[in-house]
Amino acid sequence: GLVLILFSAKPEWFGQNRSSVIGFIQLLAMLLGIGLEALGCALSLDSLWARKERSIVADFGMRLISTGYVIALFAGLSDIFTGAMNGSSGKSPQFGPYEQTGFEIGLVVIIIGLLMMIPYASLGKKEEPTQEKETA
């Protein structure tokens, strides 16, 4: 996911910069990378709850992650959706300031959801192995 994000957001780092605007394939790669990152983070944080039942806040955080991804997905592809619906085939889609703002809002929602999934109650506790008492 991180490689896809870096490759699509900064292609000049890899010697692949061909235009000054973000293209459709570049945008799809960035959105796929964000999705893979969000999924990986959510699964990693979910594994911290393996021994306990997830809290309501953590469940809500999981849903917030997916909602944030949908926001980022639709904000990133909004110019393509509206262009196809309006029939403006001569105009190329752009990743403009409105799309960027919606994309950033989606990322903030994903981050809030990830923060909600952290099991804060068990972070400071160390589990000690149980020892059986010897009876004489």
pLDDT tens-digit map of 69-98: 999 988 888 876 665 555 555 566 666 777
pLDDT tens digits for range 3-42:
777 777 666 666 666 665 566 777 788 888 889 889 998 9
* Neighbouring residues of 103: CB distance < 8 A, sequence distance ≥ 6: 72, 75, 76
Q: Which of 77, 71, 58, 78 is nearest to 110 (CA)?
A: 71
Q: What is the 8-class DSSP label of residue 12?
A: G
Taking phi first (over 0 means left), then psi (-120 to 50 degrees means alpha), and beta for anything else, what does residue 101 get? Answer: alpha
pTM of the model: 0.72
Distance CA 45, CA 58 (A): 9
| Residue whose token pair is 């394939």 | 25
